[in-house]
Structures are given as structure tokens and as C-alpha cells.
Amino acid sequence: MANIILPPEWQIKERDVTDLSAYKERRAFIKRLGMGTIGLVMGPSILNACNSRASDSPTAKGPLDTIPANAPRDGLPASRNGEFMVPERAMTDRTAAASYNNFYEFDGSSKEIWHLTAKYDPFPWTIEVGGMVEKSFQVDVIELIRLFGLEERVYRFRCVEAWSMTLPWVGFPLKKLIDHCKPLSSATHVAFECVNRPKEMPGIKGQPWYDWPYYEGLRMDEAVNDLAFVATGIYGEPLPKQHGSPLRLVLPWKYGYKGPKAVRKITFVDKQPKTFWNDLQPGEYSFLSNVNPSIPHPRWSQATERFIQTVNDVKRVPTQYLNGYEAWVGTLYRS
């Protein structure tokens, strides 16, 4: 995403954590995505890096092998909510979805995050709720799943970097969680703070120039919209670590970075909260960040996107206003 602000060493780090076959695979994958200029530096230390990696990642043999063993399976399989379907394109293959991720806490210069998640051990997981609420409290993610139950929704997913997927999320509407928090009527916005575990997340330790932990925020009317979703699973299973285990937000009408992963803290406030990417590069990443084909990113067009169906099948398709969700959220943005 924000590769221009990274110091030059970032390329070396990527090489050190990527073994040869995966590196080649990813090169081919990224090439097919048309992202050939991002982080592709071939170097002599690749084979050595292979050995050191093996001890770092004893458990992750593949991208689908990163679901925490102790993740709750209550409510699975969840039934699909037929109101949320994507008729015009196929579902993205789950291996492609699990091998091409943005999760800067693990690494900001690579998409192959799953390799780096071995030390991350999210459960048990408590969320702190505070700010302008009747009463601050803490709640375990398992309790939320038991309270609200789970459903499956197939959503379009659009990253600001102009790639997209179709993904079957499992979770519950954010509105159920907001209601459960009992915010005061004076709260106008909600702020989210993410995981901060440098010992388990090499990207937090290795990229100190970012303002960890990752933070995001929404207007209250956005947060309680039907579309706003809390995902605890994907493809009928608990979330793999690289997708944001144990829970993350999914806001399909906004660019992907508006959906924080591994949320630890929810705070209700009465002014617009600061957000991670907007603070770093306000000229490139706005607070609202709604998908809009007619507003280009300063460095690239947003008119089309590379739709990733499988690692071998990536095609350019037109981007839709609000990512095709105008019927759900269009009225939020009409003045």
C-alpha cells in the first residue's frame, strides 16, 4: 500500500522471510496481478533464508493451515444469508484468498503473510469496550459468537491497491455488537484498535516507523448499517490468522484497509477518530475511503480492478460505485 514511505531495507526483509519456491510462486502470482514492480528483488540469500524459516514456522505448511487449533467452532457451519450474494462474478478460490493478504503487523512489503503467522497465538481473546458507553466492559470473542450466532455472507472485497475478490465471510452484523455495547446517544463515531503483539508479529517489531497498533474508525450511521459485518470466519471455517483471527471488520463498500483485523478495543466517541492510513498519508487515504471508480488514487486509477478468482485467473473488471452496494449505503453519502 504505502510502499513509498518505507526505507530501502524493506526489500531485504521480504527476501529473508520468503523461501525459494514460495518466492517464485509469488513472483508469478504478482506478475499475473500486474504488480510486477512491488517488492521484487531477487537476491543470493534466498536459499539460506529457507533454512532459518523452517524453525520459525513449524506448523504452517500451507496457507490453509493457519486456523488456530483452539478457535471456537460454535455455530459452524453457518447458514448463508441469501440477501448478500455477488451474482456477476465467481467466488474467489480459498487458497488464493489465504495466500494474498494485507496484514502489516506481519509484514508490509509482502502479500504472503501466512508464512509469518506461526508465533501468533490469538486465543483466548478479550475485547475492551469503552468511551461513551453506559458502562465499560470486557468480553471474550467466544461469548460474542454464542450471543449473536453466525451467518455467512458473500461480499465483494476491494483493496485500494485495485485488486479484488469475492469472499464468503462468516460472522455477525456489527450492529448486534454495537447494540450490545450500549453506546450513549451522544456518541457519533466508533474507534477500533487492533492487536499489538510485537513478540508474535514480525511486522510490528520490524517496522517501527508505523504507528502501532493499527487503528480505524467509522461514523455511527456506517457502523450500524446492515452491511457492516464482524467476521470470525471465512469459507465455513474460523478465520485463518492471516485473515485477521480471531475477528475483523468487513465493510464491503469501503476500501479494504477500513476493515481492521484482530480488533482488541472498541471506543465510542463524539468526534471523527484518527485512522492509521489517513494519518500517514492524508492525501492518499481519506477517512471515508468509499470505493469510487471516478476518484483515482493519486498514484493509480480506481476505474478498474484486478479480480482474483484463483492464483491463475486474474482479470481486469470495472469497479462499481460503492463496490456495488449503493442500494445499501448510497443514502449515507447524499447530502
Q: Which residues bind ligand MTE (CB under 6 A)?
A: 1, 101-105, 159, 194, 214, 243-244, 256-257, 259-262
Q: Which is nearer to Mo ion, 15 or 254 (CB)?
A: 254
User: What is the DSSP pairing of strand 229-234 with strand 163-173?
Assistant: antiparallel
Q: Which amino acid is at 332?
A: L
Q: Using alpha carbons only, what angle is made at residue 199 by residues 281 and 137, rounded to the nearest 5 degrees?
A: 75
CB 42 → ligand MTE: shortest distance, Å?
25
CB 286 → Mo ion: shortest distance, Å?
14
d(CA 176, CA 229): 9
Q: Is 61 exposed, middle or buried (0-12, 13-18, 19+ CB in 10 A)?
A: exposed
In the window 89-118, what residues touch Mo ion (CB under 5 A)?
A: 102
Cell of 108: 508490509
Partner that binds at residue 105, options Mo ion, ligand MTE, none, CB closer than 5 to 8 Å by kind: ligand MTE
Partner that binds at residue 214, options Mo ion, ligand MTE, none, CB closer than 5 to 8 Å by kind: ligand MTE
Q: Which is nearer to ligand MTE, 45 or 299 (CB)?
A: 299
Q: Does residue 242 interact with Mo ion by CB under 5 A?
A: no
Which of residues 10, 104, 192, 257 is near Mo ion by CB under 5 A? 257
Cell of 151: 451467518
Name the packing angle between helices 20-32 and 46-56 (round to 10°). 100
Residue whose C-alpha is closest to residue 197's, from 144, 138, 241:
241
Partner that binds at residue 260, options ligand MTE, Mo ion, none, CB closer than 5 to 8 Å by kind: ligand MTE
Q: Which is nearer to ligand MTE, 104 or 172 (CB)?
A: 104
CB 259 → Mo ion: shortest distance, Å?
9
d(CA 189, CA 220): 5
CB 309 → ligand MTE: shortest distance, Å?
14
The number of helix segments (H) and strand segments (E) in the chain equals 10, 12
Q: Which is nearer to ligand MTE, 166 or 225 (CB)?
A: 166
CB 192 → Mo ion: shortest distance, Å?
16
CB 170 → ligand MTE: shortest distance, Å?
13
In the window 144-173, what residues touch Mo ion (CB under 5 A)?
A: 159
Q: Which is nearer to Mo ion, 102 or 245 (CB)?
A: 102
Partner that binds at residue 262, options Mo ion, ligand MTE, none, CB closer than 5 to 8 Å by kind: ligand MTE
Q: Which is nearer to Mo ion, 102 or 278 (CB)?
A: 102
CB 221 → Mo ion: shortest distance, Å?
23
CB 239 → ligand MTE: shortest distance, Å?
8
- The answer to whether the bond into 72 is cis (omega within 30° of 0) is no
d(CA 126, CA 195): 11
The pair phi, psi for residue 194, each rounded to 5°, is -100, 180
Partner that binds at residue 243, options Mo ion, ligand MTE, none, CB closer than 5 to 8 Å by kind: ligand MTE
d(CA 335, CA 332): 8
Partner that binds at residue 101, options ligand MTE, Mo ion, none, CB closer than 5 to 8 Å by kind: ligand MTE
- Cβ atoms of 163 and 33 within 8 Å: the answer is yes
Which of residues 183, 233, 256, 324 is near Mo ion by CB under 5 A? 256
Distances (CA, A) of 154 to 87, 93, 159: 10, 13, 16
Strands (E) located in 283-331: 304-310, 313-318
Q: Is 299 exposed, middle or buried (0-12, 13-18, 19+ CB in 10 A)?
A: exposed
DSSP state of 119: T
Q: Which is nearer to ligand MTE, 103 or 148 (CB)?
A: 103
CB 80 → ligand MTE: shortest distance, Å?
19
Site for Mo ion, rule CB under 5 A: 102, 159, 256-257
